[in-house]
């Protein structure tokens, strides 16, 4: 149980339905908390640094802090909320599940997406029904499908998978992507489908971006002020020579070896890119989504009749597999 002098703060925005779920969860378990509106009372860079200690790459509500950062729970994560604020099982968002055998993360077998496993990256838009209004989610039968007309959409896993010293871990899934009504959009611009591994503590992302005509390997680092300096940010988007067409499914795999900080990108089991991360990654969260690109300067289909494009993507479950690191080194060599 929490000690009498423990302080719990829920950082939230008015109208955020996920924030409401966190507050309801704590209230039902008699956990006293303070609510702080990050719009009315923004966090300073110093507060961001103290709270996250390089644990998050952007300010997304809700997040719930114990004693000004002794532990932080991102989003609505019932297991972590229960563990930290009811049973005092501290560990912080830096805690990651060690992968010692192959794991399938969420088989997408139920009719609704499991909110204990996924956090919507659109959950902080301040409108309770925004997720249902702006995009459609269809899941079950071993797949997740997102169709979007009005906005970007995506999900981030609540579980973080460890990539500790001595490990080499593979992350893979199948994805198809299709954009309708954007015939004049350049091949390398939005709209696009995405899969990525996100290391929230460092802001490093390893992933793929897919258009109707192209597949790009992506290596980037981003972060909020006070967590990663602007000079440390970068974006490398590398056009691969792997062919694709609208709606075509491919297997996307990223491997990461901790000791060498080496990442390798594969499409349909063919290596398409490799890079060394600027910092060693200790664990990653899984991310997937679609990007319409309304704010990226993408022209409408015609000047006189703007046609809102529908973009859609389908993903199979993520498969996380540990590999013999020494065999991998010999293979690369």
- Residue scoring higher pLDDT (243 or 91): 243
170-224 pLDDT, tens digit per residue, is 999 999 999 886 544 445 567 889 999 998 767 789 999 999 999 999 999 886 4
Local confidence band at 142 (pLDDT 50, 70, 90 cut-offs):
very high
Distance CA 300, CA 306 (A): 5
Relative to beta strand 310-315, strand 168-180 is: antiparallel
Q: What is the pLDDT of residue 44?
A: 76
C-alpha to C-alpha distance for 269 and 253, rounded to whole angstroms: 7
> Mean pLDDT, the chain, as a whole number?
79
CATH dotted code for 103-332: 2.60.120.200
Domain with CATH 2.60.120.200 in the chain: 103-332
- Per-residue pLDDT for 57 more than 50? no
Within 10 angstroms of residue 3's Cβ, the number of other Cβ atoms is 8
Q: Enumerate the CATH 3.40.30.10 domain ranges in the chain, comma separated.
A: 8-85
Written out in words, the top-level CATH class of the domain with range 8-85 is: alpha beta
By three-state DSSP, how is residue 48 classified? Answer: helix
pLDDT for 234-257, tens place per residue?
999 999 999 999 999 999 999 999
Q: Which of 283, 287, 255 is nearest to 269 (CA)?
A: 255
pLDDT (tens digit per residue) in 59-83: 566 778 888 777 778 777 776 787 7
Does pTM top 0.75 for this prediction?
Answer: no
Q: Encoding tokens for residue 85?
A: 């604020």
Report phi then psi at 9, rounded to 5.
-125, 130
DSSP 233: -
Higher pLDDT, 313 or 333: 313
């Amino acid at each position: 149980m929490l000690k009498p002098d423990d302080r719990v703060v829920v950082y939230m925005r008015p109208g955020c339905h996920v924030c409401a779920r966190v507050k309801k969860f704590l209230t039902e378990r008699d956990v006293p908390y303070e609510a702080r509106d990050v719009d009315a009372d923004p966090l300073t860079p110093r507060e961001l640094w103290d709270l996250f200690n390089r644990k998050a790459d952007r300010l997304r509500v809700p997040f719930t802090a114990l004693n000004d950062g002794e532990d932080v729970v991102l989003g609505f994560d019932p297991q972590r909320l229960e563990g930290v604020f009811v049973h005092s099982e501290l560990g912080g968002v830096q805690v990651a599940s060690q992968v010692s055998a192959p794991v399938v993360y969420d088989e997408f077998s139920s009719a609704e997406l499991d909110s204990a496993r996924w956090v919507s990256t659109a959950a902080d838009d301040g409108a309770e029904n925004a997720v249902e209004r702006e995009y459609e989610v269809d899941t079950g039968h071993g797949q997740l499908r997102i169709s979007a007309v009005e906005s970007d959409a995506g999900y981030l896993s609540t579980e973080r998978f460890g990539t500790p010293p001595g490990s080499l871990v593979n992350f893979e899934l199948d994805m198809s992507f299709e954009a309708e009504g954007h015939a004049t959009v350049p091949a390398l611009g939005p709209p696009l489908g995405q899969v990525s591994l996100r290391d929230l503590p460092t802001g490093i992302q390893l992933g793929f971006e897919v258009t109707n005509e192209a597949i790009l390997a992506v290596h980037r680092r981003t972060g909020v002020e006070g967590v990663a300096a602007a000079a440390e940010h970068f974006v490398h988007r590398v056009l691969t020579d792997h062919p694709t067409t609208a709606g075509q499914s491919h297997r996307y795999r990223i491997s990461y070896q901790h000791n060498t900080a080496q990442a390798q990108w594969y499409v349909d089991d063919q290596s398409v890119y490799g890079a060394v991360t600027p910092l060693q990654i200790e664990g990653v969260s899984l991310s997937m989504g679609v990007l319409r690109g309304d704010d990226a300067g993408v022209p409408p289909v015609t000047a006189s009749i703007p046609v809102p494009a529908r973009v859609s993507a389908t993903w199979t479950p993520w498969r996380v597999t540990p590999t013999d690191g020494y065999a991998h080194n010999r293979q690369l060599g």
